[in-house]
Amino acid sequence: MLHVNENYRKIQASYLFTEIAHRVASHQSANPAAKIIRLGIGDVTEPLAPAVVEAMHRAVDDEAGRANFHGYGPEQGYAFLREKVAEIDFRARGIDIAADEIFISDGAKCDCGNIQELFGDDVKIAVGDPVYPVYVDTNVMAGRTLASVDGRYPGLTYLECSAANGFVPTPEQAAGCDVVYLCYPNNPTGAVATKAQLQQWVDWANANKALILFDAAYEAFVRTPGIPRSIYECDGARTCAIEFRSYSKTAGFTGIRCGYTVVPKNLVAYAADGTAVELRPMWTRRQTTKFNGASYITQRGAEAIYSPEGQAQCRATIDFYLENGRLMKTALEARGYSVYGGGDSPYLWVDVKGDSWDFFDRLLKEANVVTTPGAGFGRAGEGYIRISSFNSRENVLEAIERLRKAL
């Protein structure tokens, strides 16, 4: 008889987005004329940068002739892209990362999800609460937890993030853990971590032979001087951290699919007999076995993000989203709400002074505006809603008008 992987049965149904879709659909059918504005979505709305589009067109032409045709590429990514990444994302900012420590992929979600394959079944994992669910669910699927109890999986350590700690946990909360997922700028809270806060984590990880999995998917939104865009800005991070990057929000690649992971040389985990084992060759092996590379056309598009025009165009689009966030934050604060995030992140995290689903329903019914209830990101998300800045200016201004009336 065929048995299923029982760990999959421990996964809680993805209640959040199903429930949102259900409530929005019933509101729309009861109010067919309502023009609903979605401020809940984490997907981009602006098109690709012209420099990226031109590069992808040229890459299609390459594929159209024998001379420049590309079939399977290197699983780790083409050197033309890895060298640009190392040079512009790291070395130009004084960070020591080499091209052969970069692994190009089809996005950060897969890498964040797959990385845990490198670690033992018994490693102790810490995640934030609220949290981007991929870190949690992939460890549940791998069998590192029991079935959930009251929305939490025994076996995981939850690092509670609240206004009191500025939505940045401290290493004391992860005592006894081997792996900690940190995401800054954060999804969903929009919080950023200071260099001193990240340095504390790096020092803790090095002292405890632990590993930081640093998700920097939103680094391009950082505008405040001094706020780190990479964990490797901290001293000693090369010996205790892997970093994930994504072109999804940075350059509108949610539909194109490309990102990368940094695994430094000399970063190790330990075998049962205490032998240090390098993670970079293990990740190389994992990727070459199970992944066949991002497409040539995609990687040429990603390369163009690093051209002077590409950099300016992508920055302008991010500035546009940040301005959306600033407008919404100002309007909500004027209504007396405490609003976290924005500024260095596309997400606003609004303290709704009550139940997050009740507030969600109120905005849906009274303003035809869809948000994301914080409770869906974990127990510590209760009492908040997440608002995303990914939208047209027209929708944002209309939503602000409606929120002013409803609140």
Judged by beta carbon, residue 305 or residue 400, the one nearer ligand PLP is 305
Strands 268-270 and 347-351: unpaired
Taking the least distance from each CB to ligand PLP, the nearer of 52 and 403 is 52
Q: Do 173 and 198 form a contact (C-beta atoms < 8 A)?
A: no
Please state, in angstroms and as integers, the Cα–Cα distance from residue 117 to each residue in 12, 287, 290, following that order: 21, 11, 12
Least distance between ligand PLP and beta carbon 217 (Å):
4
CB of 101 to ligand PLP, least distance (A): 19
**242 DSSP β-pair partners:** 213
Tell how far CA 210 is from the center of its chain.
21
Question: In 3D, which of 311, 326, 293, 186 has the Cα closest to residue 247?
Answer: 311
Q: How far is C-alpha 14 from the geometric centre of its chain's CA atoms?
A: 18
* Cβ nearer to ligand PLP, comparing 109 with 368: 109
Whether 17 and 147 have beta carbons less than 8 Å apart is answered as no
Q: Measured from the CB of residue 146, what is the shortest distance to ligand PLP in angstroms? A: 25
Smaller CB separation from ligand PLP, 246 or 391: 246
Contact between 261 and 214 under an 8 Å Cβ cutoff? The reply is no
Structural contact between residues 405 and 396, judged by C-beta atoms closer than 8 angstroms: no
Question: Could you please report the per-residue DSSP string of 362-402?
Answer: HHHHHH-EE-EEGGGG-GGGTTEEEEE--S-HHHHHHHHHH
Query: CB-wise, 73 or 259, nearer to ligand PLP?
Result: 259
What are the backbone angles phi and psi of residue 386, rounded to the nearest 5°? -100, 130
Coil, strand, or helix at residue 114? helix
Question: Hey, what are 49's tokens?
Answer: 């940068």
Would you say 84 or 109 has its CB closer to ligand PLP? 109
CB 83 → ligand PLP: shortest distance, Å? 21
| CB neighbour list of residue 145: distance below 8 Å, 6 or more residues apart | 10, 139, 153, 154, 155, 156
Report the residue number, 158 or 403, with the smaller CB distance to ligand PLP.
158
Q: How far is the CB of 309 from ligand PLP (least distance, A)?
A: 23
Rounded to a whole number of angstroms, the minimum distance from the CB of residue 254 to ligand PLP is: 5
Query: Residue numbers of the site for ligand PLP (CB under 6 A)?
Result: 42, 107-109, 112, 132, 183, 187, 215, 217, 246, 248, 254, 259
Q: How far is the CB of 187 from ligand PLP (least distance, A)?
A: 4
The values of phi and psi at residue 4, to 5°, are -85, 165
* Minimum gap (Å) between residue 186 Cβ and ligand PLP: 8
Give CA–CA dist 95/234, Å, rounded: 9
Neighbours of 58 (CB within 10 A): 14
Q: How far is CA 305 from CA 75, 88, 251, 301, in A?
A: 21, 10, 7, 7
Collapse the DSSP code of 82 into the 3-class scheme (helix H, G, I; strand E, B; otherwise coil) and give the result: helix
CB of residue 335 vs ligand PLP: minimum separation in angstroms? 27
> Closest approach of Cβ 183 to ligand PLP, in Å?
5
User: Which C-beta is closer to ligand PLP: that of 314 or that of 331?
Assistant: 314
